[in-house]
A and B are shown apart, each in its own frame.
Chain A
Amino acid sequence: MIYSLCLLLILIGLYGVIVSRQTLKIVVSLLIMNHGVHLMLLLVGYRKNGSPPIVDPGTTIADFAAGAVDPLPQAMVLTSIVIGLGVLALMVALCVRLYERYGTFDVTEIRRLRG
């Protein structure tokens, strides 16, 4: 059931990307989508009442596998957040360049692809 929250976040982001005309709003919508995906990945690895995935000197591998939540999605999401930051910086930079080039943030006024 909790997964539908992720889907909701992704759909909200998608709606924002499709509908909004301002480049910065599109960037924010993409961020929302991004976080929806992250949340879903984390939830995949979640285990109810699980212990944090930290191997203390005393625990055996069998105990760890039986009790801890899955650390792999967490590591991946952590990486993805960092990459997302880089992508965000790139997108914002592109928005600034578009503004310098066309003098607007409105994507409907940038129509170089028109057939």
Chain B
Amino acid sequence: MLRSLLTNPMALPVVFPLLAGLVCLLLPNAASRLRVWLAALAAIVVLAFVWPLFQQAGQTWNPLPWLTLRTDLLSVFILLGVAFFGLVVAVYSVGYMKDRPHQRAYFTYLLWTLGISCGVVLANDLLILLVCWGFLALILYLMAGLSGPGAAEAARKSLMIIGGSDALMLLGILIYWHLAGTTRMDGAALALDGPLAYMAFLTLLAGAFAKAGAVPFHSWVPSFGEKVDAPVSAFLPASLDKLLGIYLLTRLVLDLFIPTPGMYGMLMLLGAVTVIAAVLMALVQHDLKRLLSFHAVSQVGYMILGIGTGTAIGLAGGLFHMLNNTVYKSALFLGAGMVEKQTGTTDLDRLGGLAKLMPVTFIVCTIAALSISGIPPLNGFASKWMIYQGIISSGDNGSFAWVLWLAVAMLGSALTLASFVKVLHATFLCKPSVEIRQMEISEKKGSMLLPMIVLALLCVVFGVYAFQVPLGFLIFPVVAVTVPGVWWSGLATVLILLAVIVGIGLYWLTMRGGKLRRMRTYIGGEQMQDVYLSNDEPGPLRHVEVTGVDFYDTIEQVPGLHRYYALMKDRVFDIYEFLKRSADYFVQMLRALHTGILPSYLRWFVAGLLLVVWVVTMEGR
């Protein structure tokens, strides 16, 4: 048994990172550089272990009656993603973690997370999956806590929401066991034919939603992303948790249950709400990492929309979008980490002008931002297009709800673009702030740049060769799809390039010859306030600084949205705050009972005793 743990190809991706993490833990602090490179090497080895599994899906390993591992086409796809993003983050961390505290714990947790995530994907038993799931939540909590005291509250919130959903999942698994007679996942799918089956489905769904960060279990993601170090955010909420959450969701609708049309409708509704609610919040954020986290929530909505269509093309689109999202969202978070490492802040009001100072980061972030906004020919467009097709073909059964979902999805995409225009402008393009100008900034860190460049290249490759590379190798083996209309990205790309060229041409034509008027600066139809005028250049016409966030603040005052933002400020939709308030309520009730007068406690005892006696005598009769 023990030897097979170390030799079986299916056990190795789980056991090896755990052991490597242990080695990282035991290495003395003097060998910290060795540890860093060891972690990166271990991530490469994990990828090497996963690769043969990927090539030969459909294996099972059953060493003990309760321990079964199995790979199928879906799980090897997710497994490859987990190993790949583990490697990306490990390499990035080599540069990022230099001169930072807690390296020993950080790399240990990184490798353990990698191994346990492989365990989640390989598990063929819901109980084993849940155990790994629980350990992941614990390590997520510990890893978030490494980012300093500011992250403690965010870590606690994440642990409460994910841990609470674990308890729900346990309930769901027990009900599933009761109904299906097994917790193995390769059995027959369960029909949703009664309240118990619905309850099992919904509780397991809650686990998947909490992990992936979808409404109503989303509120840990923004807090986590804002406070916790960027590579951790890129690793956990942006890539691994998406992969695992959507993996569970796909398993639920494909293998474990046969969802009813009503359930599919609910999934699409939640997906649409997730898209629009999160992107509206992202629009008005002032912190780069918090803004990105809201997009991490918003993009989950597309995946759920795609999977919720119940059509093959929608499902393939949802999975493809999950893959694409992990690619570009990781790239954005890693870019944000680079910005934070160089400037010490992610506050959009205090950044600016980084395009010249950090050209590679700028290009990577631009590609990723265009990709997340769904600009052809990048990968975000390819998968969103498939999801749109899925939504349209979900209307084949005669209902017209698809029009609404499609409108919401497209609006969400447009708002995503709007908020990324703000990000790119405020971080990279506008005039640098005084603080930035006084800093020595250089981005010469190969280990940090390499993962970002690879991810940006993947954005382009997955978009341009969508059907040849990612869909052909990864997605279509999982979901057999006959694509209704193959979209050819050539024409749109040419049109977009043409528009850009025309724009540049117009700019040159009108700006030539210095026909300029100097006006008070307007932005979005509003006069700039003096707050945003920087004071470093004295003189009558002071240098005007457009931070790019000013315009978006007015969105909060739009009549219809005003109420929404007010409610969000009160955290009405935050399930964590809701639970905290109800817990407080019960605590207050119990406090009122605790008078501290001992005879009154005794009265409660006697009353309870009499009740017990009464129940027992009634029982005997």
Contact = CB atoms under 8 A, between A and B. Distances in A.
B597 A14 contact: no
Contacts of B594: 113-115
A107 B591 contact: no
B595 A18 contact: no
Interface string B575-600: 00000000000000011111111110
Give the interface size class of chain A.
Answer: 10 to 19
B602 A18 contact: yes
Interface in A1-49: 14, 17-21
A60 interface: no
B491 interface: no
Given A14-B606, A18-B606, A115-B590, A107 B595 contact: no
Interface in A94-115: 107-108, 110-115
Nearest to A17: B602
14 contacts: A17-B599, A17-B602, A18-B599, A18-B602, A18-B606, A20-B599, A108-B597, A110-B598, A111-B596, A111-B597, A114-B596, A115-B590, A115-B593, A115-B596
A18 B603 CA distance: 6
A18 B598 CA distance: 9
Given A14-B606, A115-B590, A21 B599 contact: yes
A108 B590 contact: no
Contact of B597 (A17, A19, A20, A107): A107
Q: Give the interface centre of A14, A20, A108, A112 by most chain B CB atoms within 10 Å.
A: A108
Nearest to B598: A107
A17 B602 CA distance: 8
Contacts of B598: 107, 110, 113
Contact of B599 (A107, A112, A114, A115): A107
B595 A111 contact: yes
Interface of A: 14, 17-21, 107-108, 110-115
Contacts of B591: 115
Contacts of A14: 606
B584 to A, nearest CB: 13
B497 to A, nearest CB: 70
Contacts of A114: 594-596
Nearest to A113: B596
Q: Give the interface centre of B591, B595, B598, B606 by most chain A CB atoms within 10 Å.
A: B598
A7 to B, nearest CB: 13
Contacts of A107: 597-599
A88 B426 CA distance: 79
Given A18-B599, A115-B591, 8 more contacts: A14-B606, A108-B597, A108-B599, A111-B597, A113-B594, A113-B601, A114-B596, A115-B592
Nearest to B588: A115
Contacts of B592: 115
Nearest to B591: A115
A113 B601 CA distance: 10
A19 B599 contact: yes
Contacts of A113: 594, 596, 598, 601
A15 B598 CA distance: 14
A110 B597 CA distance: 7
Contacts of B596: 111-115
A21 B600 CA distance: 11
B601 to A, nearest CB: 8
A113 B594 CA distance: 7
A10 to B, nearest CB: 12
Nearest to A19: B599
Interface in B601-615: 601-603, 606
Q: Give the interface centre of A20, A112, A114 by most chain B CB atoms within 10 Å.
A: A114
Contacts of A18: 599, 602-603, 606
A54 B494 CA distance: 117
Contacts of A19: 599
